[in-house]
Structure 1
Amino acid sequence: MKLLIPTEGSFGYKVMCLVLAGLYAWFLMGLDIDGYIDRANYLIYAQHSDEIFVMYAASSLKTILTNEPVWLLFNIWASKHFTPEDTLRVIIFFSSFIISFLVLRSYPKYAFFLILFILMPQVLKNNIIHLRQGVGISLFFLGWWCRYLPLRIFFIALAPLVHASFFFINALFLLNIAFSTFSISTVWRVIYTLGVGVVFGALGIWLADALGARQGESAEYSGMGAGGSGLAFLFWVVFTVIFFMEGKTYLRNNFFAASILVFYLSTYFLLPVTARVFESGMLVVLLASLGLTDWRRYAAYSLYAFYFCMQWYPVLGLPGFGWAAESTL
């Protein structure tokens, strides 16, 4: 499995990435702290994570491990040093800066598209309303791009202890390590990934409930499938077809990204949390697609532009771009 190692940009480009990432993070940190969906919930974490941690710890070890203990521990630490509002600001700045800087510096040749990626609503909202997921992504990316193996393992292993979607992402990551270790053919990789997707899709919420994870008990996740109109499913089917048409060599080098696509499509109608899982790995998919060649590259560019516009168009005139808390409407 090929890791996404950043290409070497010039010193000036790296400075530009630092400045842009800093401005990006500073802007997001400066947004109205309680003016967006779920911010009230995050303020509760910033104040009462010690009580929540004790509640989970009193239940069982598996319960505490499946309920994002590192997220709780960070909030407990932050509550000793910051106000709840400042805790959220620290979280937003840290995650948005790390994600944007690592993405922007990854492939200088594609700087325009890298900026497009971090401005996509599905990426941006992880630093506005899904703050825990944003921290999880930043930790995963720190590990993903780390050249020192122990630190790579540490950060990647830490991610699901901040956001549970990374239990799925890390399972796919380990599956891809097995594929590479045993030189599994591309066809069998797809078959195995589909099988894993169907199993997780059918049993994922039951397993979460059995392990004591809060998602297993939530009414939000009690239904079937990802919901929505199915347009996202059709869009990513087209994207996946283009991805797979690049050929076996490309797929073998980028099958982790391909497996995220296959997992998402195979669980779309089965697993209620599949959209959140996909959002945790979407940047990996987008970055891998920059390696497409010939007409497939231009098809991907067109899909980027279409996806960007279709996500932003419905929300441009809405308060908080559709993410405003009810109290601010």
Structure 2
Amino acid sequence: MKLLIPTEGSFGYKIMCLVLAGIYAWFLMGLDIDGYLDRVNYLIYAQYSDEIFATYAASSLKAFITNEPVWLLLNIWASKHFSPEDTLRIIIFFSSFIISFLVLRSYPKYAFFLILFILMPQVLKNHIIHLRQGVGVTLFFLGWWCRYLPLRIFFIGLAPLVHASFFFIDALFLLNIAFSTYRISTVWRVVYTLGVGVVLGALGIWLAGALGARQGDNAIYSGTGAGGTGLAFLFWIVFSVIFFMEGKSFLRNNFFAASILIFYLSTYFLLPVTARVFESGMLVLLLASLGLTDWRRYAAYGLYIFYFFMQWYPVLGIPGYGWAAEGSM
């Protein structure tokens, strides 16, 4: 499996990335601290994580591991030094700064699209309403682009202990290591990934409950499928056709990104949390697609722009762009 390694930009470009990442993070940190969805819950974590941590630790090892202990430890540490409000601001600033800098510096040739990526709602919301997921994505990318193997394993392994969606992402990562180790053909990689997707899609929530994860007992996750109108499914079907038409060599080098897409499509009608899992790996897929060539590259460019505007257009004029807490704006 070929890891995405950032290309070397000029010193001036890196400084520009630092400045843009700083502006991005400062703006997000400065938003009304309790004016958005889920912020009340995050303030509770910032105040009472020690009690929540003790509850899970006293239950069972499997419940402790599957209920994001590193996220709780981060909040416990921060609560010793900062107020709950400042804890959230620090988490927002550093997670958004690191991920935006890593993305912006990665491929200077595609700077316009890199900016587009970090402004997409599915990325932006990780630093507005899904703060835990934002930290998980940041840790995963620190590992994904780390050249030192022990640190790579450390950060990638840490991500699911911050946000449970990365148990699925890391499973796909390990599956791709097995594919590369045993030199599995591209066709069989697709077949095996589809099989894993269907099995996890059918059993995922039951498995979460059996392991003691909070998602297993949450009524929000008790249904089937990702919900919505199915337009996202159709969009990513089109995207996958373009992605797979690049050829076997491209797919072999970027199959981890392809497996995230395959998993999402195969679990769309089965797994309630599949959208959250996909959002955790979406940047990997978007960055990999920058390597498309010929007409497929321009088709992908068009899809990026279409997706960006179709995601933002419905929420323009809505308080908090649809993320505002009730009665706050």
Aligned-partner SS, 1:326: coil
Segments of structure 2 that go 5 or more residues without pairing to the other structure are none
Q: Distance in 2 between matches of 1:303 and 1:192?
A: 28
Match of 2:187? 187
Q: Does 1:246 align with 2:272?
A: no
Identify the residue that residue 68 of structure 2 maps to in structure 1.
Answer: 68
Structure 1 counterpart of 2:212: 212
- 1:281 shift after superposition: 0.2
Q: Which residue of 2 aligns with 1:126?
A: 126
Shift of 1:268: 0.2
Could you tell me how far 1:105 is from its partner in structure 2?
0.3
| Aligned residue-pair number | 329
Cα distance in structure 2, aligned partners of 1:115 and 1:295 = 22
Q: Equivalents in 1 of 2:94, 2:80: separation in Å?
A: 18
Identity, % of aligned positions: 87
Matched to 1:63, the amino acid is: A
| TM-score, scaled to structure 2 | 1.00
> Which letter maps to 1:200?
L
> 1:171 aligns to what?
171
Deviations 1:212-267 (A, max 9, x none): 00000000000000000000000000000000000000000000000000000000
Query: Whole-Å Cα distance in 1 between the matches of residues 134 and 43 of structure 2?
Result: 16
TM-score, normalising length: structure 1:
1.00
What is the one-letter code of the residue matched to 2:149? L
Q: Secondary structure at the match of 1:328?
A: coil
The alignment's C-alpha RMSD in Å is 0.4
1:321 aligns with 2:321: yes
Alignment of 1:7-18 (within 5 A): 7-18=7-18
Distance 2:164 2:272 in 1: 13
- Alpha-carbon distance between aligned partners in 2 of 1:78 and 1:131, rounded to the nearest angstrom: 15
SS at match of 2:327: helix
Mapping of residues 193-208 of structure 1, within 5 Å: 193-208=193-208
C-alpha distance in structure 2 between counterparts of 1:327 and 1:160, whole Å: 33
What residue number does 1:303 align with? Answer: 303
CA distance in 2, matches of 1:200, 1:94: 32
In 2, the alpha carbon distance for the partners of 1:204 and 1:7 equals 37
- Show CA shifts across 1:43-96 (max 9, x none): 000000001011111110110100000000010010000000000000000110
State the distance in 1 between where 2:309 and 2:264 align. Answer: 22
Consecutive unaligned residues in structure 1, runs of 5 or more: none
1:48-63 aligned at under 5 Å gives the runs: 48-63=48-63
**Post-superposition CA distance 1:286-309 (Å, at most 9, x none):** 000000000000000000000000
Q: Which residue of 1 aligns with 2:97?
A: 97
Equivalent residue number for residue 25 of structure 1? 25
Deviation, 1:327, is 2.5
Runs of 4+ in 1 over 4 A off after TM superposition: none
